[in-house]
Every structure is written in C-alpha cells, then in structure tokens.
Amino acid sequence: MSQQRHGNTPGNADGGRAGSVTAFPDLPEATIARLPEYLRALHNLGEAGADTVSSEGLAAAAGVNSAKLRKDLSHLGSYGTRGVGYDVALLIDQIEYVLGLDQRRAVCLVGLGNLGHALAGYDGFASRGFKIVALFDADPSKVGEEIQGLIVRHIEELGRVAVEENIAIGVIATPAGAAQAVADVLVDAGVTSILNFAPCVLSVPSGVDVRKVDLAIELQILSFHEHRKASLTALPGGRSATAAGNQEAVGS
Amino acid sequence: MSQQRHGNTPGNADGGRAGSVTAFPDLPEATIARLPEYLRALHNLGEAGADTVSSEGLAAAAGVNSAKLRKDLSHLGSYGTRGVGYDVALLIDQIEYVLGLDQRRAVCLVGLGNLGHALAGYDGFASRGFKIVALFDADPSKVGEEIQGLIVRHIEELGRVAVEENIAIGVIATPAGAAQAVADVLVDAGVTSILNFAPCVLSVPSGVDVRKVDLAIELQILSFHEHRKASLTALPGGRSATAAGNQEAVGS
DNA sequence: AGGCGCTTGTGAAGGCGTGCACAAATCGCG
DNA sequence: CGCGATTTGTGCACGCCTTCACAAGCGCCT
Ligand SMILES: NC(=O)c1ccc[n+]([C@@H]2O[C@H](COP(=O)([O-])OP(=O)(O)OC[C@H]3O[C@@H](n4cnc5c(N)ncnc54)[C@H](O)[C@@H]3O)[C@@H](O)[C@H]2O)c1
Ligand SMILES: NC(=O)c1ccc[n+]([C@@H]2O[C@H](COP(=O)([O-])OP(=O)(O)OC[C@H]3O[C@@H](n4cnc5c(N)ncnc54)[C@H](O)[C@@H]3O)[C@@H](O)[C@H]2O)c1
C-alpha cells in the first residue's frame, strides 16, 4: 500500500524538486497557502475604495505579520512602491494570475448528501474563480435531481463529462468508505486536483494533488487546547477581567 | 494557519520544568495536528480486529512518514513495545486523553443556513467526542425550527445557554459580515475555542483559539498547483523528467 | 539459554519558515 | 532642487520540523 501524498518532498533521494522548471519562481508552500488570504483582503479593500495599501495595512487585514507579507509578495516580484505601498488592483491581478484564477476552473462535486447539497448551493465558489459544472452521485434516487440549475448525474458518467467539460478539480463529499473509489474514478477521468471532505487518507498517483478538509480534526485540535487551558486554569486566580468585552479592533 | 498563535514560551530554554504547570509535556503544534489523524487510523485498525500495529503500519494508515509518527508518539511517552509495535487500544486511550476527548465536549453552532444545516445533521461529531448542544441564528424565521432534535434559538439566548450547557466550542457558519459580531458574543459567553467557516479574519482576545476552514482557499491552492502543472506540460518533452531547461522567470 | 530478527525511541543534520532590523527607493513639500 | 518622511525589499539569525540512521530493547525460536 503506497499512499502517496500530494506535493513534492515524497521520499527525497528521488528526482528531487520537480517544480523547479515552471514558469514561476518556486514559491514556498507556506506562501502559496497565504496568497488566497491576501487576495480576499485585497478584494475587501478594493471594494472599500482603497487604491493602495501598505504592507502593514494589508497584513492586518489578512491577519499576518507585515514582514512575512512583504517577503511573500517579494517572491512574486516587485509590485510595491516604496514610500507608498501596493497598488490594490495591480496586486489583485498579479496574485490571481499566479494562482491561475484568471481562467475560471471547472469543478465537479461527487456525493450529494447533506454536505454535498450545501456545497452545491454555495455561491462562494463563483465569486472566487471557480464554477461547479457537474454533480455526481451513485444513488439512483439522487440522480436526476436538480440542484442550483444542475442535474445530478450518475457517477458512471463522470469519465465522459469530465473530458467534455474539461474538469480539473474534483470535490469528494461521499462517505469515507466510498472516497477512495471515487478518487480512482476521478483520476482515471484525468482530474489532477482533489478536495476531499471524507475522513480518510486517499491514495493517488504522483502528479495528483489532494487536499483534505476534516471537521472533526479541527475540533479535536481545539479540544486539545481546551484541555490544556483547563489544566492551567486549575490554578487560583480564576478568570481575569474578560467580562468587559472585546478590546481588540481590526485596524484600518 | 490561523492568525492567532497560541504559543507562549516567549523566551525558550525550557530546560525541564519552565513555568508551565500543565499536565502535558509541551507537544509541538505540528504533532497535535496529526494526533487526530492517528486516532482515526487507530479506530479503523481496531475495528478491523488488530490488537497491535507497527509504526510502519500506522504511518501508512495515517498517510505520514513512520519516523515522524514514532517521534510524535514518543512525545506522549513510551507506549510501544520494541519488536512488537503499539497496543491499539492503549494508544487510542492515550491519544484521546491527551486530546481531552474522554470528556465529551459541548459544541454550539451559530448560523443555520445552507452550511449550518449540513453541519447540524452531521453524525461525525458524536462519534468523535463532540456533542452539538445548541443551535443559534439571528433570523426570526429560522428560530424555532427543529433540526435533528434541537430547536434553533435566537442568538440573544447564547450567553445564557452557553453557561447552562457549559459550551466550550463555538462553530460559526454565518456570512462573513456577521462573523466578527458572533465571535464577540461567543467570547463574552465564555467560549474559548471557535471554529470559523466564514471567509474572514476574526479578532479575539488572547486565550481564545480560532481555527478557520475556508473552502475557497483550499480550491485556490489546488488551482495554483493546476496552473503550475499546466505550465510544466506546456514545455516540450512533456515527460516528468527534469531534463535540461533552466528555470526562467516570467518577464515583468 | 542464547541468538536472531524485528521494532521502537532518539541523536544529529539539514531544510524551511519566521521575524527583526535596516539599507534602498520613492514621494511630497518647501 | 533637495530634504525628510515613509515604506518596500531583503540579509541574517534563530527555532521548529522533518528525515535519516542506528543503538537499545523485546519476543520468539532453536
Ligand atoms: N455533513 C457534514 O457536515 C460533514 C462535515 C464534515 C465532513 N463530512 C463528510 O462528508 C462526507 C459526506 O457527508 P454527508 O453528511 O453529506 O453524507 P451523506 O450520507 O448525507 O451523503 C453521502 C452521499 O454520497 C453518495 N455516495 C455514496 N457512495 C457514493 C459513490 N461511490 N459514488 C458517488 N456518490 C456516492 C450517497 O448517495 C450520498 O448522497 C462524509 O464523508 C462525511 O464524513 C460531512
Ligand atoms: N454553503 C457552503 O457550502 C459553504 C462553504 C464554505 C463556506 N461557507 C461559508 O459559511 C458561511 C455560511 O454559509 P451558508 O451558505 O450557510 O450561508 P447562508 O446565508 O445560507 O446562512 C447563513 C445563516 O446565518 C444566519 N445569520 C446571519 N447573521 C447572523 C447573526 N448575526 N447571528 C446569527 N446568525 C446569523 C442567517 O440567518 C442564515 O441562516 C458563509 O460565511 C459562507 O461563506 C459556506
């Protein structure tokens, strides 16, 4: 059983960083993960009427350290003006280009149960560069149902439709037991990026990227911190003055 | 990562005791994030009838490197037997204890729209140590609705109910514009852990942990890799080999 | 009892990411 | 036209995390 993890740094001794031949300077993975956050903050600022923004201001809006933000952006090139800041519109274009959002990507969703319905009805995709073009399920009673203007198709059609619609990203919202099988179907159909909501590890060939979202893991991490905090507050002193309310305000 | 860092240990040099009186050795953040994955894998193995498991086997099931797994577990203490492996049941108990899952934690959910309904109906919470004890919304037309045996209450009741039910974790599934206000209400009610699904940065006092789940960010990260992969296959040769060809930056 | 194979636990090395601190660059104004 | 205020871009040091490699420990078989 070789479960391949996405991304590079698989083993190590192998061919090494395959990503170095791209048209981009290799961006650190940590930077890539923050770019979408900067982009969202920039859109907010733009809608608020800002033409330019300083690294300090943008960092605050994105919830990061300003030095980190500057270093992240410097990896994309020099799009700031010293003494002034960054041009909001220009930076938006640049980040969208790097993230490949200038071309609206086609997404398919597999598994239209509880979660799948919510995702299908989510308007946050379209506004962020994605378009759900197909829905699939294995349950005959679900096939044919219309959701948000799309008809649920049987998963057997996935191979054909994926090619027709040029689907690059697949979202899995099936039970864990079916997730690997669905992933295999997606990979066979040529899908090279998968977002997995099922709580399980997927095994995919190298070259296919998998990202996982697991609610229970998030809650358990919070639980750990609760546990730790509880063991701390066992000390005297009790709660400090928190009844007053929030003190922090989002700057600018 | 989220904007809020919990890490204290301002100085460093914890030559042993340090000021923290907690019952735990300080676990690295990265380790904590992986423990839930190990736990899930262990439950699967246990249900499959395994009594013990080697680091190699568990690592494969959890999708990580075996050395990393051993180091992670070594932080909890020595619960393995050399030449044999780890006792599945014992390790489950141990991890659950560390994560604070032995006490079922009360969770409340705010915002019962599209996503909130799916979350409320999700049975993966109960099976992983959590119990949704209350639902809140601000929309009068939603208040009173029964979902999975719970009645949706008005958010103004949150303060009272949170204390009554001893709620430690709040989940925000409202639009981004309302998220900060909801977070403030949760904090005032004594909730010290928040899971935020709204695409925005939350500002909370120190001592409160926030974790964020943002679908669009996940998709955008995948999009970047798609973009990168596409620019690779655009090159002549096509093969994955990193033949000749040096990197070249996009002209600016 | 002793040897042998297997697995854990860990020391050490290297890579990655973060944040400080500051020089370089640009604008606005007198 | 030059000067000061401001902000970017980055060299550098430090700490965290990952990974390798191996000695120590354990059980089983002869
Ligand atoms: N509901 C939530 O809030 C939530 C939250 C976090 C994670 N999840 C995870 O998301 C997944 C889906 O959750 P859910 O609550 O929507 O479950 P669900 O049972 O309501 O829906 C699952 C859907 O997948 C379909 N399906 C099953 N096998 C399939 C296959 N082989 N091919 C195609 N479709 C198939 C089913 O017909 C059903 O429509 C689960 O893995 C769950 O653990 C759900
Ligand atoms: N639907 C999805 O699949 C999805 C996916 C990812 C992220 N999100 C995010 O999750 C959030 C909710 O998404 P949704 O699709 O469920 O939206 P929605 O509009 O369907 O539901 C929002 C709910 O929050 C309630 N609400 C609004 N203001 C409130 C307040 N101040 N206090 C309490 N309740 C309040 C509304 O009455 C409504 O019921 C959004 O921020 C969205 O961006 C949704």
Contacts of A134 (CB under 8 A, 6+ apart): A108, A109, A150, A153, A158, A161, A162, A165, A167
Asked whether residue B115 falls in the same domain as residue B196, the answer is yes
Cβ burial, residue A97 (10 Å; 0-12/13-18/19+): middle
Mutate to test the pocket of ligand 1, among A114, A119, A122, A196 (most ligand atoms within 8 A of CB): A114
Asked whether residue A81 falls in the same domain as residue A125, the answer is no
CA–CA gap between residue B98 and residue A223 (Å, rounded): 9
Ligand 1 atom closest to Cα of residue A200? 41
Asked whether residue B89 falls in the same domain as residue B111, the answer is no
CA–CA gap between residue A156 and residue B13 (Å, rounded): 59
From B63, B98, B133, give the residue that closes a domain. Answer: B98
pTM for this one?
Answer: 0.89
Asked whether residue B147 falls in the same domain as residue B204, the answer is yes
pLDDT digits (tens, 9 = 90+) for A82-103: 999 999 999 999 999 999 999 9
CATH number for the domain harbouring residue A129: 3.40.50.720
Asked whether residue A50 falls in the same domain as residue A139, the answer is no
Rounded to a whole number of angstroms, the distance from the CA of B110 to the nearest CA of chain A is 15
- The reported pLDDT for the residue numbered B232 is 76
From A98, A133, A161, give the residue that closes a domain. Answer: A98
B36/A216 touch (CB, cutoff 8 Å), yes or no: yes
Number of domains in chain A: 2
Asked whether residue B109 falls in the same domain as residue B194, the answer is yes
Asked whether residue B202 falls in the same domain as residue B135, the answer is yes
Q: Is A214 in the B-facing interface, judged by CB distances under 8 Å?
A: yes
From A71, A98, A125, give the residue that closes a domain. Answer: A98
* Side-chain half-sphere CA neighbours of B150 within 13 A: 21
Q: What's at A247, amino acid-wise?
A: Q
Q: Measured between beta carbons, which residues in chain A are less than 8 angstroms from residue B232?
A: 18-19, 21-22
Nucleic chain D contacts, protein chain A, residues 38-57, CB cut-off 7 A: 53-56
pLDDT digits (tens, 9 = 90+) for B133-142: 999 999 999 9
Q: CA nearest A197: which of B219, B69, B113?
A: B219
How long is chain A? 252
Q: Measured between beta carbons, which residues in chain B are less than 8 angstroms from residue A123?
A: none
Owning domain of residue A32: 23-98
Pairing mode, strands A85-87 and A80-81: antiparallel
DSSP string, A61-103: HHTS-HHHHHHHHHTT---EETTTEEEHHHHHHHHHHHTT-SS
Give domain status of residue B206, yes or no. yes
Asked whether residue B168 falls in the same domain as residue B147, the answer is yes
C-beta separation of B62 from B41 below 8 A: yes
Asked whether residue A128 falls in the same domain as residue A173, the answer is yes
**CA-to-C1' distance for A8 and C13, Å?**
21
Give domain status of residue B40, yes or no. yes
Instruction: Write out chain B's pLDDT in tens, 252 residues.
Output: 334 433 333 333 333 333 334 556 689 999 999 999 999 999 999 999 999 999 999 999 999 999 999 999 999 999 999 999 999 999 999 999 999 999 999 999 999 999 999 999 998 988 999 999 999 999 999 999 999 999 999 999 999 999 999 999 999 999 999 999 999 999 999 999 999 999 999 999 999 999 999 999 999 999 999 999 988 776 554 444 333 333 333 322
Contacts of B151 (CB under 8 A, 6+ apart): B135, B144, B145
Q: Radius of gyration over alpha carbons of chain B, in Å?
A: 23
Q: Phi and psi at residue A80, in whole multiples of 5°?
A: -110, 165
